[in-house]
Amino acid sequence: MEKLGNILAVWIHRQRTMSRKLESKARHLSLNELSILIIIISFIPLTLLFFISGKNYTWLQISAYYIFQFLLLLIVLVFVIGWFKAKEMANADVEGFSFVKLSSKKIDKEYFGFDYSDMENLELLTNLLPCQGKIVIREVPKNKQPGNLRFLFSLLDYIIEDGIQGLGKESRNSLLRLVQKKFSFDGSEINENTFASSYSKWSQKTKEGDYNDTRKAIAKALGLP
């Protein structure tokens, strides 16, 4: 039994290795090259069927089968490519970030000073849909917090999956582009020159617990546990 188990283990290991090699090569293919490869491979079962069926097919019948399968695959591939391209566009619009699911009914609009447009754009953003405008971060009596980057960072740390603490340079640049595209401070644009230093200070003070009260208030206002 042990020998059979070892033989099976070796075979599975070889198959996994081959699969990884093929996957690695496939990643370097363009969409057009990959589509052609899929079409060619998909013709193999049909070709084998003609050989082993024992029936005498005319060239017209064989051609009709191949043309039908080719057109069917072409339609499917166009839809699949379109689907993945749409996902790429959605990810590019939010700089590759993903968001937690929020309930608009649970969000305390007054705490954030959000109007109807802000709420709509926040919902669109967290669902990876194109926003109609920028979400405005306002200073209101209820949050007792200036509409600044540190407050926005704390908000984003909750609504972005896995948070935004400890980001590397490339991810910080992606965050900057996201903030510039999707947010404004009561009508004024985000200051790119102070972004990096503000992020570093926020990240450090968050670790030290300086923003704990603000973070708890934000989590509560978002309706998060």
Using alpha carbons, select from 42, 183, 63, 45 the residue that is nearest to residue 117.
183
Residue 172: inside a domain:
yes
Residue found under tokens 């600044």: 148
**C-alpha span between 189 and 179 (Å, rounded):** 9
Residue 81: inside a domain:
yes
* Domain shared by 127 and 72, yes or no: no
CA distances from 65 to 9, 46, 54 (A): 40, 8, 16
Band of pLDDT at residue 20, cut at 50, 70 and 90:
low
* Domain shared by 123 and 210, yes or no: yes
Residue 100: inside a domain:
no
Q: Between 225 and 22, name the one with better pLDDT.
A: 225
Residue 101: inside a domain:
no
Residue 43: inside a domain:
yes
Residue 102: inside a domain:
no
| Length in residues, the chain | 225
pLDDT of residue 147: 47
Q: Which of 93, 124, 140 is the last residue of a domain?
A: 93
What is the total count of domains within the chain? 2
CA distances from 175 to 61, 163, 196, 214 (A): 57, 11, 10, 21
* Domain shared by 200 and 113, yes or no: yes
Q: Torsion angle, CA of 59/62/65/68, rounded to 10 degrees?
A: -40
Residue 214: inside a domain:
yes
Average pLDDT score over residue span 143-172:
84
Residue 98: inside a domain:
no
E-strand stretches of the chain: 135-136, 183-184
Q: Which of 61, 93, 125 is the last residue of a domain?
A: 93
* Domain shared by 56 and 116, yes or no: no
| pLDDT over 60 (residue 187) | yes
Q: Which of 25, 59, 93 is the last residue of a domain?
A: 93
* Domain shared by 127 and 82, yes or no: no
Return the structure tokens found at 82.
């379109």
**C-alpha span between 92 and 6 (Å, rounded):** 47
Band of pLDDT at residue 159, cut at 50, 70 and 90:
very high
* Domain shared by 213 and 146, yes or no: yes
* Domain shared by 155 and 202, yes or no: yes
How many helices and strands in the chain, by DSSP H and E?
9, 2
Q: Let me know if 106 is exposed, middle or buried by CB neighbors in 10 A (0-12, 13-18, 19+).
A: exposed
> CB–CB of 148/202 below 8 Å?
no
Q: Record the pTM.
A: 0.61
Q: Between 4 and 72, name the one with better pLDDT.
A: 72
Domain ranges, residue 215? 109-221
* Domain shared by 87 and 123, yes or no: no
Provide the CA 55 distance to its chain's centre, in angstroms.
Answer: 50
Report the amino acid identity of residue 18. M
Mean pLDDT, the chain, whole residue set: 80
